[in-house]
Structure 1
Amino acid sequence: MRILHTSDWHLGQHFMGKTRQAEHQAFCAWLIEQVREHQVDAVLIAGDIFDTGAPPSYAREQYNRFIVELRDTGCELVVLGGNHDSVAMLGESKTLLAQLGTRVIPGVCETLGEQLLVLKGRDGQPAALLCGIPFIRPRDVLQSQAGQSAEDKQKSLQQAIQQHYQALYALAEAKRAELGNALPIVATGHLTTVGASASESVREIYVGSLEAFPTSAFPPAAYVALGHIHRPQKVGGLEHIRYCGSPIALSFDEARQQKEVLLVELDASGLRGVTPLPVPCFQPMQSLRGSLKELPGVIQEVAAQGSAERPVWLEVLVLSDDYLSDLQSRIATLCDGLPVEVLRIRRERGTAVASLTSTTRETLDELSADDVFARRLQQEQLDEADVTRLQGLYRGVLADLHKPDGD
């Protein structure tokens, strides 16, 4: 049995005013080629197929086109909902997509058995069992209790998620016994695990959700396919518990990562091996740093990666000259005539105290919403308890704002 593990596509993402549509189209075409070349039996997308709960129409079209093209390969597709995905939007077409060999688990199902799937090999015979676990929202597995501290909520949620995994795994074991075959059991998840290394494009899963899930809480599955963290990695150094990462760089701090999908081979004895398949870079991106004296050489070097049709997207961190008010025009002059496009200019700020009213004209484009809130808190004389309380309220507001309609 060969499974291709991928996640965090974020179809429909706009990155600093730039669409990622062409990159996603190129990735989908490349992925179909890998399925054919490696004779993959099933593709698992472990959450965040879309960037928002209400993706643009072209992103939905990309999703549907991929499903149709994958069907022609004879490979199954399983789509798990992530924290960016709308349960209602993903679920609305799952009955139709089932006719095209695609099974969708948008959220925790009312009946646990709906999350247990039998994956078939090319010969049409059962080859593995899948515990399909999407992003778990607290309301899916917990009832709110008055008076609980944040720590108590974390413990309760961790225990509830662990129980969900164990109950579904027990169901898989019973199904394996019923089928009478020594089938490997695969589990999925869309969450943060203890020790996972994230990047700036991984938005926090909001207050009330799990901060980090211990690896010891996973059931003894042959392989655990995880999503949510964009950096590919083994969890706790374990071969069978992995994040495949996002297929394209979703932030500048991911630009130097080698993106990949994972080819997972299983047989009756369990996991045979995991092979990373490097994803080509469809859009060069670089984060540069230096003084105005150093930047010309650095920009020239990076420009060699671009072309007139596909210029390199740049983030420039200016050192030592950050006090200048005309940085944008100076850097534009340095880039004139080169196949590069500057998407963001940042200032080092030296050792100056962070302030919302910076004398060096810091713009909101240089700050995230979290940065603005953190700097506003710094202007107040607050004790640790008040800071924690306000941070919790702030994340609660964000959770409400990001909650898709119909969820």
Structure 2
Amino acid sequence: MKLLHTSDWHLGQSFFTQNRRHEHRQFLTWLLGVVKQHEIDVVVVAGDVFDTATPPSYARELYNQIVVELQSHACTLVVLGGNHDSVSVLNESKSLLSCLNTHVIASCAEDVTEQVVEIKQADGTVIGLICAIPFIRPRDVIHSEAGQSGEDKKALLGEAIKQHYAAVFEEAQKKRRAWGADIPIVATGHLTALGVTQSDSVREIYIGTLDGYSADNFPPADYIALGHIHRPQRVGKSEYIRYSGSPIPLSFDELGSNKQVMIVAFDGTKPTLSAVEIPRFQAMAVMTGDLTDIEAQLAQISDTDDAIWLCIEVTTQGYLPDLHQRIQEMAENKPVEILQLRRVQAHKDTTLQQQHEEQLAELTPQDVFERRLALMPEETDKALRERLRSNFQTIMQSLYEEPEGE
């Protein structure tokens, strides 16, 4: 069996007001070429197909197109729900797509047999099994009780996720024994594993409850295809537990790592891994320095270059009220779109006044909360600070969770 592991497409993302339809269409066209070239049997999308619970119509159109276009390649598609995806949106076309060799697992099923996908050849022979585990919402596996501490909830959720993986994996093992064949078992997941490197665009899933999931708690599957982290990487020093990463940069701090998909070729149950680098479909860059440095970097851009999306970080020791205007004048007649302009303090010992000069868009809600907390009197009770922090995290978690019925 040949498996292609990808994740975090985030179809429909608006990047500082910029539409990314063109990039996603090019990526999906490129992906079809890889499927054909490498004769892929199954494509696994490990969550976050869409960027929001209410994706724009063009994003749904791209999703439907890739399902249809894969039919000419005799390739199975397995789609897992992520924390950005709406369960109801993915489920609305689930039955229809099942007729097109596509398996959609939007949420955890009560019957774990529904989460074991058989990958078959044209003659019906099973060549692989997928433990199709999507983003696990706490309400799917645990019931909170009054009086539980944060540590209690953390331990309970971690154990519940572990037990769910074990139950699905055991069902896959039963199917493998029934077939009596040496076929691989692949597990999936959409979560934060401990020790991984994140990026600015990654949303915390279990705020204040679960920092990350230990790699030791995964079942002994032959390969584990993960999503949610946008930088491709191994987990727990294991070659066979991987994040494929997102196919396009979803924030400027992701420009330092190459984008890729993973191809996993199985000889029996033994996997051989190879990464296929994804081309960059939109020119993007980060420029850093003082105004003189920025002007020199902009001067190097040719008028004939393709349009470049820029993040400009200006190092300064003071407040520049006309900073935006000066940067715009430097970039005049250049094929650039300045999507993010930030002031970066030249010294770490910034004053409170300098911190107030930061743009709100540069800060996360957590940043704003911690800045406000820092302004409280030093003699403020530590327990009170922790209660405020815990309450804030609970509120943020409730905003990220999908409402019941979705």
1:388 aligned partner: 386
SS in 2 for 1:313: strand
CA contact (8 A) 1:319 1:347 kept: yes
1:318-339 CA-to-partner distances (Å, cap 9, x unmatched) read 1125521101111111111222
- Structure 2 Cα separation of the partners of residues 130 and 387 of structure 1: 45
CA contact (8 A) 1:7 1:227 kept: yes
2:287 aligned partner: 288
1:137 aligned partner: 137
1:346 aligned partner: 342
Match of 1:313 among 300, 309, 323: 309
SS in 2 for 1:186: strand
- Structure 1 Cα separation of the partners of residues 107 and 274 of structure 2: 29
Look up the equivalent residue of 2:22 and give its one-letter code. Answer: A
Shift in CA distance, 92/133, structure 1 to aligned 2, threshold 3 Å: same
Quote the offset at 1:28 in angstroms: 0.6
Quote the offset at 1:307 in angstroms: 5.2
- Structure 2 Cα separation of the partners of residues 205 and 322 of structure 1: 37
Look up the equivalent residue of 1:272 and give its one-letter code. Answer: P
Quote the offset at 1:54 in angstroms: 1.0
Coordinate RMSD, CA, aligned? 1.9
CA contact (8 A) 1:50 1:59 kept: yes
- Structure 1 Cα separation of the partners of residues 123 and 325 of structure 2: 62
SS in 1 for 2:292: coil
- Structure 1 Cα separation of the partners of residues 278 and 137 of structure 2: 31
1:205 aligned partner: 205
2:60 aligned partner: 60
Structure 2: state its 5+ residue gaps. none
Shift in CA distance, 299/237, structure 1 to aligned 2, threshold 3 Å: farther
Number of corresponding residues = 402
1:362 aligned partner: 358
Mapping 1:146-157, distance limit 5 Å? 146-157=146-157
Look up the equivalent residue of 1:299 and give its one-letter code. Answer: L
Match of 1:397 among 384, 391, 395: 395
2:372 aligned partner: 376
CA contact (8 A) 2:7 2:46 kept: yes
CA contact (8 A) 1:325 1:360 kept: no
How high is the TM-score relative to the length of structure 2?
Answer: 0.94
CA contact (8 A) 1:81 1:87 kept: yes
How high is the TM-score relative to the length of structure 1?
Answer: 0.94
Look up the equivalent residue of 1:388 and give its one-letter code. Answer: E
Look up the equivalent residue of 1:206 and give its one-letter code. Answer: Y
Mapping 1:327-342, distance limit 5 Å? 327-342=323-338
Look up the equivalent residue of 2:255 and give its one-letter code. Answer: A
Mapping 1:4-403, distance limit 5 Å? 4-121=4-121, 124-207=124-207, 209-268=209-268, 270-301=269-300, 303=301, 310-320=306-316, 322-349=318-345, 350-351=347-348, 353=350, 361-381=357-377, 382-403=380-401
Look up the equivalent residue of 1:330 and give its one-letter code. Answer: R
Quote the offset at 1:372 in angstroms: 2.0
Quote the offset at 1:367 in angstroms: 2.3
Give the percent of matched residue pairs that are identical in Structure 1 and Structure 2: 47
- Structure 2 Cα separation of the partners of residues 322 and 286 of structure 1: 25
1:288-319 CA-to-partner distances (Å, cap 9, x unmatched) read 21001111222334x35x956x4111111111
Quote the offset at 1:404 in angstroms: 3.4
Quote the offset at 1:377 in angstroms: 1.7
SS in 2 for 1:175: helix
Worse-superposed segment, 89-98 or 209-218 = 209-218
